[in-house]
Structure 1
């Protein structure tokens, strides 16, 4: 009996030991599984890029609307390497070009007859890229056929109606605001260049592009500092709507804040993005050393082109810029219709530098 009891006790002990080993194995497997899951989750998180999506939604027609709408402030996780991107900010389309990832653009708003595209964006004339309508009037039927992974917008498309329609026709697409703010224009372009570089795993290329742009800006800034008189008027011609002036604090404030020009006159901050309406007497009284002239009417829908010579007449002839022929016409595509991206910003810098290099002192 004692021997049988001993056997029974040994058997029970063996069962307990095996059970303990089994529990330990399960705990170890569970722990390893947890670590594997966490690792997979951590690894998966690197497959997205976070965009700060902060912008104003207009209840009207976008850029021209004076009514205030809802403020959007959110973060959006975008999966890396999206293959079908609908770009409504034509400037940012030029950033895709600069990074050599334009093959991922499925479509963009070329306008009727591709009239919205600058020379810098001429490769998008191809039928390979769908025409998504106008900058303020997207072709939602084409969007529905396309079913993009990502929609990039700026102020002209940030309306209640457009956003509702984007979500309706392309429910699986992420919508990201990519417009550059005039108060931090080149900084925003640099940041977006790096974001797109991260999105397509071209961080080194993006960093180099930004470095090149900052170097060019510094060079122009140094040249402006050497001018005997750096007072400018930035004038925008608008066909029958006349001439408007953009000064410091306005839409093109980076001419003053970034490049270091001084404004020949004060700017009325209460005006909209199209500037303060002015006349020829204003130009004569301001007496700028340099006049930058951008013909918005030449590229705006239904607009009318205005020859720069219109600003040279018996009233304005006393201005230093007129007398010394320091009047420089700017490309309205890169300064207005396609502004806000890397290649178009570099084109802007080049035009400013050319003007400074050809400045004639009294």
Structure 2
């Protein structure tokens, strides 16, 4: 709990320094430098024709009241306004329409991991930025993403207000989780199989961001294993979580939430979570398709706070 609080304060301090130092550069040349890993992209401020494939970033554009010109062909319910004909549709989440994007001539393209194999093609059309989240340091990278979007449109003050509100909500949950000895795991459910995600993983939000103790931590060997060589994860009964959060991938894609009884198996029924009625199906469109934008982070925290600790926000 103490470490999480310190991290928030440190993040906000760093953001203020970045904003202060960058504002001079932005006034000089009207550009914002967006650096992700070894890739640094110069983007002119106030880009008008923005194509956003990353649904988490699209949430942030919406919450900061920044206009978007083009989006994927189909959007989940919480981003339904972008399904209207007002927004140009330029391909699916997994397959951008390169020819149509060339004809559209965007000023900026924002991608996610799902479009990774198309990055080079997209970058030849317009400045292209991928806003990844560091699973080992969620709050830092999450805030950097939000503030980078805000800097493009001089929306830093509004972004800080939004982040401060999320900070207060997180601290309320962290206060309860610090006193809670029970352990949690989040699992992705795909075609009858449960795939546990521990601390430091893509779906480790409950543990890493909110401080709920982890029932499962993936080994370094497993994390670093090549595709197809990853060792088999322990069963749910071996992990034996007190809280079990299930993300149904099919629900995320099709939008239809299954009944819990339809996906449980004998292995899951042998967990403390099942015995104590602490298994929760969480909305896949929020957790799987998005998950790290201003809106989905807020919704995830509200959901977890209410389910685990009966917190009313």
TM-score band by shorter chain is: 0.7 to 0.9
2:101 corresponds in structure 1 to: 143
Unaligned segments of structure 1, at least 5 residues? 1-40, 55-72
Deviations 1:68-116 (A, max 9, x none): xxxxx13222111111101111110000011011x2x111123xxx2xx
Which of residues 22, 33, 36 is equivalent to 1:50? Answer: 33
Q: 1:358 to 1:290 in 2, by over 3 A?
A: farther
Deviation at 1:184, TM superposition (A): 2.2
In 1, Cα distance between the equivalents of 2:182 and 2:277? 15
Which of residues 214, 225, 241 is equivalent to 1:263? Answer: 214
For the pair shown, the structure with the greater C-alpha radius of gyration is 1
Counterpart of 2:91 in 1: which secondary structure? Answer: coil
In 1, Cα distance between the equivalents of 2:267 and 2:127? 53
Which of residues 39, 42, 51 is equivalent to 1:74? Answer: 39
Query: After superposition, where does 1:318-357 map in structure 2 within 5 Å?
Result: 318-357=270-309
In 2, Cα distance between the equivalents of 1:166 and 1:217? 36
Q: 1:74 to 1:165 in 2, by over 3 A?
A: closer
2:51 corresponds in structure 1 to: 86
| CA RMSD of superposed structures (Å) | 2.8
- The count of aligned residue pairs is 284
In 1, Cα distance between the equivalents of 2:280 and 2:308? 10
What is the TM-score normalised by the length of structure 1?
A: 0.71
Matched-pair contact (CA < 8 Å) for 1:232–1:264: yes
Greater shift, 81-90 or 262-271, is seen at 262-271
Q: 1:304 to 1:211 in 2, by over 3 A?
A: closer
1:250 corresponds in structure 2 to: 201
Deviations 1:188-245 (A, max 9, x none): 2211211221211111101111111111111111121232x321121211015x1111
In 2, Cα distance between the equivalents of 1:348 and 1:238? 21
2:155 corresponds in structure 1 to: 202
In 2, Cα distance between the equivalents of 1:165 and 1:243? 35
Deviation at 1:163, TM superposition (A): 2.7
Matched-pair contact (CA < 8 Å) for 2:110–2:128: yes
2:18 corresponds in structure 1 to: none
Matched, 1:130 2:88: yes
Counterpart of 2:210 in 1: which secondary structure? Answer: coil
Matched-pair contact (CA < 8 Å) for 1:237–1:306: no
Matched-pair contact (CA < 8 Å) for 2:248–2:284: yes
Matched-pair contact (CA < 8 Å) for 1:248–1:263: yes
1:215 corresponds in structure 2 to: 168
Unaligned segments of structure 2, at least 5 residues? 1-23
2:190 corresponds in structure 1 to: 238
Matched-pair contact (CA < 8 Å) for 1:245–1:276: no
Which of residues 175, 184, 201 is equivalent to 2:128? Answer: 175
1:106 corresponds in structure 2 to: 69
Matched-pair contact (CA < 8 Å) for 1:87–1:93: yes
Matched-pair contact (CA < 8 Å) for 1:243–1:278: no
